[in-house]
């Protein structure tokens, strides 16, 4: 890989020499949660960071701040379109500048190694090439507008269970060919200005260390071999040592101030345990980042419009629609023709409450959200009836207690009272709000030690009412003066790292209510959690469900509505209880009774379309019984408009699966993400995702790369234009020398369409353990009905190469290779052969 050009740093080095040691080390840890410090003597203004990757979260300075909510990265990856990804990166940059953000903590280029990974929706793909290509485009879009990207999480941090503790054990070849590959590609193609080291560690048989201390991977590979010139930033609260992390290659410990750096690091330098030249290099890397984002000797970034422009909303809508994957379309049920359409039944728990974004640090308070119901009502012609039925609840947790049931006991006004108490129990402040959700509540004085929540809950409907309470840390819950629940968790930052701060365990009680109704006095007494750089907070959640119909009664009502409609649209999927940062899923089944709902609706109306609203794979046991199935991902704020565009044929669902959809749980190559004795063993080696399915010879529900679109394509011919493999390309991850394929194809269907031409490389069976097939290149083309088009696909020399662990170098095994050109990993249409000898690629004769 060619090293990126580094600007002349001599003047910056001169500035650094003018700082004393304490001042330099002060710059190496955050000044607060989202910023690292300013230093006027260097001309350095504070640099502000914020979470991505579904938008720009902001810093929390304005609790009412909202922003643009994009589709999840897996939805973007489903477009297989780097130009579209770059445009989305530009949008993120504009949004960042609106919020005063200089660096967006995105994109994530970890791989979807297992479908149960909690952050699966935040990753692009199970394939390193598709991941690297799309991520590089996002980085180019961001940084082309002067906003830094922070590539994360380096490296092999592909699951959430015990994520701060485990080590990924994988051999050197797997590390290079699979998990380092997308990082290397993005660094080569887009030169991101910062990289984040993961919580977890890596054991590759050479070194076993947490990533914040991994000398070989951070200093030798990332900074040395690859020539990376920016800072390595810790994941938040991932720094666990002073000397080992400073020597290991970490440059910025976040958030801050980090107690393990600061004074301890000053003392380590003076004791000779850390070379001061290392400190200078860290400061230099931070100054390079600041120079890139306009925070060095500059007044700041140019202003941008305060409000999003219409084209920004349009782009989010287009990404969501184009990323939608048409998995199945029997008898061309889709797109729907408005002609003669009189009624539509919109059914399902996710039809009523769409799941727009994943849980955790990716969460963005959206400037607006368009529900599926709103989108369809706006798009359907006047006179077409739209009947909406939930068909049962798919959530494990109850909804938050509604405001009309809550009364402040002091004033009689609507709401819950929060009393802020000091160490002696004296009230020193308070607040009243109408919500039952007090997650990470922190708007209290520094002297606050406890927060006491009080309300009267009035229940009028006779029957059994269910109450749930979710509290983080140390707490007690009293009902009518009697303590009913209590907890004694005194941890601090650990509650944040495992997501208990926002997703605490729920503990419930049942309350019987007679015809006369009942009022309960609730009191929740919580000790303030001190989470270090994450601040001081409490979390209290009050949830309530009244007596109501059973799930099967709701399903029966939905089936009746479907029977009476011309067409039924059933939206099933996951929710924030299932897919989130902080934990991995325990299985692949749809939550609740959604499979029963789908089957009842199919029986009631054969013209049924099922829309899957999920970021990660779920099992669809009825997939071959439904005439039409769409995968709509976590589609962001424009969900309703995007789905309406697809259903009514305004936008082609040209998405292709960026991962493999299993038919059976027992077929999944990596079925869980749980560490064993602190180790996650990557025993499958280079056979990740679709490669593992091919190796095992198993048939998935739908293969990697699958997607139908609105039209049909005929693949006609493929021509190869080989170029010699030069020494410079030996380490080139996705570009440089290799092969150029020209593929001719014709749109033989009735509508204009977009096709993703995919090329898979089949190595020779020469005894080396290699994938049966691997994705080697792809291109997106579009054509009108009957039109012929050519796709130019580059297959890099790296696709033919393997990592030689003993030689610590790439090599190309000689032999005859096949290139399969087609519509998915399991749907080849054309084949060409290539012979490798003497480090050259030749079309086979």
Secondary structure of 519-571 in HEC code, one letter for each residue: EEEEEEEEECEECHHHCEEEEEEEEEECCCCCHHHHHHHHHHHHHCCCEEEEE
- Asked if 582 and 499 count as a contact pair (C-beta separation under 8 A), the reply is yes
Q: Quick one: pLDDT band at residue 365, thresholds 50, 70, 90? A: very high
| pLDDT tens, residue by residue, 829-838 | 999 999 998 7
Q: Which residues contact 804 (CB under 8 A, 6 or more apart)?
A: 810, 811
DSSP 8-state secondary structure symbol assigned to residue 730? G
What average pLDDT does range 780-795 have in this prediction?
A: 97
Residues near 214 by beta carbon (within 8 Å), at least 6 away in sequence: 197, 201, 202, 207, 248, 249
- What's the mean pLDDT in 77-86? 98
Look over the chain and give the mean of its residue pLDDT values, rounded to a whole number: 94
φ, ψ for residue 467, nearest 5 deg: -115, 140
Closest CA to 196 of 313, 279, 109: 109
Displacement of CA 679 from its chain's centroid (Å) = 23
Q: Could you tell me if 531 and 573 are in contact, meaning their C-beta atoms sit under 8 angstroms apart?
A: no
**Number of other residues whose CB lies within 10 A of the CB of residue 41:** 10
Task: Give residue 518's pLDDT band: very low, low, confident or very high (50, 70, 90).
Answer: very high
Which pLDDT does position 735 carry in this prediction? Answer: 62
Mean pLDDT of 124-151: 98
Average pLDDT (781-806) is 96
Which pLDDT value is given to residue 734? 63
Among 81, 102, 204, 235, the active-site one is 235
What would the mean pLDDT of 146-159 be, rounded to a whole number? Answer: 97
CATH pick for 713-843 out of 3.40.630.10, 2.60.40.10, 2.60.40.420, 3.30.365.10: 2.60.40.10
**pLDDT tens digit sequence for 258-292:** 999 999 999 999 999 999 999 999 999 999 999 99
Rounded Cα gap, residues 432 and 407, in angstroms: 10
In this model, does residue 26 exceed pLDDT 60? yes
User: How much is the pLDDT for 256?
Assistant: 86
**In this structure, what is the dihedral angle of CA atoms 556, 557, 563, 564, given to the nearest 10 degrees?**
160
Neighbour order of strands in the sheet with 167-169 = 208-210, 201-203, 167-169, 679-681
What is the DSSP pairing of strand 815-822 with strand 506-513? Answer: unpaired
As given in the structure block, the two tokens for residue 809 are 């170098």
User: What is the Cα–Cα distance from 157 to 178, expressed in whole angstroms?
Assistant: 13
Mean pLDDT of 30-44: 94
Which of 97-111, 373-387, 596-610, 736-750 bottoms out in mean pLDDT, i.e. has the lowest? Answer: 736-750
Where would I find the beta strands (DSSP E) of 84-191?
103-105, 148-154, 167-169
pLDDT at 839 over 70: no
Whole-angstrom distance, CA of residue 225 vs CA of residue 246: 19
Model confidence at 8, pLDDT cuts 50, 70, 90, reads confident
pLDDT digits (tens, 9 = 90+) for 166-194: 999 999 999 999 999 999 999 999 999 99
Mean pLDDT calculated for residue range 665-679: 94
196 token code pair: 């984040």
pLDDT at residue 354 greater than cutoff 80: yes
Looking at 3.30.930.10, 3.40.640.10, 3.40.50.1700, 3.30.110.40, the CATH number of the domain 311-397+550-687 comes to: 3.40.50.1700
Q: Residue 568 pLDDT more than 80?
A: yes
pLDDT 10s digits, 809-818: 999 999 999 9
- At 226 the pLDDT is 97
**What kind and span of H or E run contains 717?**
strand 713-722
Please, which pLDDT band fits residue 5 given cuts at 50, 70 and 90? Answer: low
pLDDT of 213 > 60? The answer is yes
Sequence-ordered strand ranges (E) for 390-489: 406-407, 416-421, 427-433, 437-441, 450-459, 463-471, 474-479, 482-488
CB 443 within 8 A of CB 415: no
The dihedral sign for the CA sequence 611, 615, 617, 619: negative
pLDDT at 678 over 70: yes
* Among candidate residues 244, 242, 209, 224, the one with its CA nearest the CA of residue 28: 242
Token reading at 84: 């579209």
Question: Which residues does residue 346 pair with via DSSP β-bridges, in sequence order?
Answer: 388, 569
438 forms beta bridges with 540
The confidence score (pLDDT) of residue 725 equals 45
- pLDDT (0 to 100) of residue 726: 45
Q: In the 3-class helix/strand/coil scheme, how is 736-778 assigned residue by residue?
A: CCEEEEEEEEEECCCCCEEEEEEEEEECCCCCCCCCCCEEEEE
CA–CA distance, 560 with 505 (Å, rounded to integer): 37
Element containing residue 832 per DSSP (H, E): strand 828-837
pLDDT > 90 in the chain, percent: 89
Average pLDDT over residues 310-327: 98
| pLDDT recorded at residue 841 | 79
Percent pLDDT > 70 in the chain is 97
Across 554-592, b (16+ Cβ under 10 Å) vs e yields: bbbbbbbbbeebebbbbbbbbbbbbbbbbbbbeebebbb
Fill in the DSSP letter of residue 503. Answer: S
pLDDT at 595 over 70: yes
In CATH, the number for domain 9-37+194-292 is 3.20.20.300
Q: What is residue 731's predicted lDDT score, i.e. its pLDDT?
A: 44
Rounded to a whole number, what is the distance in angstroms from the first to the last CA of the chain? 31
Least confident residue range of 74-83, 327-336, 644-653, 732-741: 732-741
Run of H or E residues at 627: none
Domains of the chain, by residue range, sit at 9-37+194-292, 311-397+550-687, 403-435+443-534, 713-843
Q: How confident is the model over 159-165, as a mean pLDDT?
A: 92
* Distance between CA atoms of residues 323 and 325, nearest Å: 6
**Predicted local distance difference test score (pLDDT) of residue 360:** 86
The predicted pLDDT at position 817 comes to 95
The DSSP bridge pattern shows strands 103-105 and 47-51 to be parallel
Confidence (pLDDT) at 366 = 96
Q: Which pTM does this prediction carry?
A: 0.94
Q: Comparing 8-12, 212-216, 450-454, 739-743, which segment has the lowest mean pLDDT?
A: 8-12
Which residue in this structure is represented by tokens 């990757």? 53
Confidence category of residue 728, pLDDT binned at 50, 70, 90:
very low
Express each pLDDT in 445-470 by its tens digit. 999 999 999 999 999 999 999 999 99
| 8 Å CB contact between 96 and 81 | no
On the 0-12 / 13-18 / 19+ scale of CB atoms within 10 A, 809 is exposed
Are 520 and 456 spatial neighbours (Cβ–Cβ below 8 Å)?
A: yes
Return the pLDDT at 455. Answer: 97
Please give the average per-residue pLDDT across 658-685, as a whole number: 95
Q: 804 by DSSP, 3-state: which?
A: strand
pLDDT band at 733 (very low <50, low <70, confident <90, very high): low
727 pLDDT above the threshold of 70: no
The verdict on whether omega for the bond into residue 107 sits within 30 degrees of 0, i.e. cis, is yes
pLDDT of residue 842: 75
Task: Tell whether the model's pLDDT for residue 1 goes beyond 60.
Answer: no
Query: What local confidence, expressed as pLDDT, does residue 736 receive?
Result: 63
For the cut 90, the answer to whether the pLDDT of residue 63 exceeds it is: no
**Topology (CATH) of 403-435+443-534:** Jelly Rolls (2.60.120)
Q: Tokens for 120, please give them.
A: 């699966």
pLDDT of residue 534: 87
The answer to whether residue 766 is catalytic is no
Compute CA distances 240 → 156, 254, 675, 715, whole Å: 18, 11, 20, 55
How many whole angstroms separate alpha carbon 758 and alpha carbon 773?
Answer: 12
Q: Is the pLDDT of residue 609 over 50?
A: yes
Tell me the DSSP string of 216-255: IIIIIIIIIIS---SPEEEPTT----SHHHHHHT--BB-S
3-class secondary structure, 362: coil
């Amino acid at each position: 890989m060619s090293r990126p050009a580094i600007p002349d740093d001599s003047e910056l080095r001169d500035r650094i020499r003018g700082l004393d040691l304490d001042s330099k080390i002060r710059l190496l840890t955050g000044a607060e949660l989202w910023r690292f410090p300013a230093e006027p003597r260097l001309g350095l203004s504070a640099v502000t960071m914020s979470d991505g990757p579904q938008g720009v979260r902001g810093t929390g300075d304005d609790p009412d701040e909202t922003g643009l909510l994009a589709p999840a990265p897996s939805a973007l990856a489903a477009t297989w379109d780097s130009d579209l990804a770059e445009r989305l990166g530009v949008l993120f940059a504009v949004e960042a500048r609106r919020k005063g953000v200089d660096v967006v903590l995105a994109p994530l280029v970890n791989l979807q190694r297992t479908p149960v990974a909690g952050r699966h929706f935040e990753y692009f793909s199970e394939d390193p090439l598709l991941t690297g290509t799309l991520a590089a485009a996002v980085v180019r879009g961001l940084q082309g507008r002067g906003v830094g990207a922070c590539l994360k999480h380096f490296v092999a941090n592909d699951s959430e269970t015990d994520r701060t503790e485990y080590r990924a054990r994988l051999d050197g070849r797997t590390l290079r060919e699979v998990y380092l590959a997308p990082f290397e590609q993005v660094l080569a193609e887009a030169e991101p200005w910062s990289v984040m080291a993961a919580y977890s560690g890596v054991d590759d048989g050479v070194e076993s260390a947490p990533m914040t201390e991994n000398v070989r991977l951070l200093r030798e590979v990332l900074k040395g071999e690859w020539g990376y010139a920016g800072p390595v930033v810790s994941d938040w609260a991932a720094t666990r040592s002073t000397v080992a992390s400073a020597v290991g290659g970490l440059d910025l410990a976040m958030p801050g101030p980090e107690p393990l750096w600061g004074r301890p690091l000053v003392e380590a330098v003076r004791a000779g345990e850390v070379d001061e030249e290392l400190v200078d290099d860290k400061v230099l890397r931070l100054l390079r980042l600041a120079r890139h984002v306009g925070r060095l000797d500059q007044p700041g970034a140019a202003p941008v419009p305060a409000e999003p422009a219409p084209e920004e909303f349009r782009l989010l809508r287009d990404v969501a629609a184009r990323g939608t994957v048409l998995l199945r379309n029997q008898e061309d049920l889709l797109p729907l023709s408005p002609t003669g359409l009189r009624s539509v039944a919109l059914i399902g728990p996710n039809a009523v409450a769409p799941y727009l974004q994943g849980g955790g640090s990716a969460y963005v308070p959206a400037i607006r959200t368009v529900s599926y119901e709103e989108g369809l009502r706006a798009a359907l012609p006047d006179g077409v009836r739209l009947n909406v039925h939930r068909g049962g609840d798919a959530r494990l947790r109850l909804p938050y207690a509604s405001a009309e049931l809550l009364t402040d006991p002091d004033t009689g006004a609507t709401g819950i009272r929060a009393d802020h108490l000091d160490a002696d129990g004296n009230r020193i402040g308070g607040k009243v709000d109408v919500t039952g959700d007090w997650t990470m509540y922190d708007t209290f004085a520094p002297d606050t030690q406890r927060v006491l929540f009080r309300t009267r809950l009035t229940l009028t409907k006779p029957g059994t009412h269910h109450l749930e309470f979710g509290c983080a840390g140390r707490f007690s819950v009293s009902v009518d003066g009697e303590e009913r629940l209590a907890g004694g968790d005194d941890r601090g930052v650990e509650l944040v790292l495992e997501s208990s701060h926002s997703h605490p365990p729920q503990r419930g009680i049942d309350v019987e209510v007679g015809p006369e109704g009942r009022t309960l006095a609730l009191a929740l007494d919580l000790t303030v959690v001190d989470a270090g750089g994450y601040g001081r907070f409490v979390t209290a959640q009050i949830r309530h469900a009244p007596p109501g119909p059973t799930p099967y009664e709701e399903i029966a009502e939905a089936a009746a509505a479907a029977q009476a409609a011309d067409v039924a649209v059933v939206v099933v999927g996951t929710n924030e209880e299932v897919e989130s940062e902080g934990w991995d899923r325990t299985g692949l089944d749809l939550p609740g009774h959604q499979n029963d709902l789908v089957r009842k609706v199919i029986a009631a109306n054969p013209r049924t379309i099922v829309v899957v609203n999920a970021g990660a794979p779920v099992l669809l046991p009825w997939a071959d019984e439904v005439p039409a199935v769409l995968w709509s991902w976590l589609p962001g704020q424009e969900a309703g408009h995007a789905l309406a565009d697809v259903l009514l044929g305004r936008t082609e669902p040209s998405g292709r699966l960026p991962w493999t959809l299993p038919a059976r749980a027992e077929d999944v190559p990596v079925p869980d993400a749980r560490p064993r004795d602190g180790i996650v063993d990557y025993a499958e080696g280079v056979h990740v995702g679709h490669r593992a399915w091919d190796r095992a010879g198993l048939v998935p529900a739908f293969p990697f790369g699958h997607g139908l679109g609105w039209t049909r394509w005929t693949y006609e011919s493929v021509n190869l234009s080989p170029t010699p493999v030069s020494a410079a390309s030996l380490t080139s991850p996705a570009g440089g020398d290799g092969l150029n394929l020209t593929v001719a194809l014709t749109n033989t269907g009735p509508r204009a369409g977009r096709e993703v031409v995919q090329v898979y490389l089949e190595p020779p069976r020469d005894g080396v353990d290699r994938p049966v097939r691997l994705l080697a290149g792809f291109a997106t083309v579009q054509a009108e009905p009957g039109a012929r088009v050519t796709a130019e696909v580059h297959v890099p020399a790296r696709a033919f190469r393997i990592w030689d662990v003993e030689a610590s170098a790439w090599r190309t095994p000689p032999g005859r290779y096949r290139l399969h050109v087609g519509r998915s990993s399991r749907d080849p249409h054309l084949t060409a052969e290539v012979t490798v000898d003497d480090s050259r690629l030749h079309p086979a004769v």
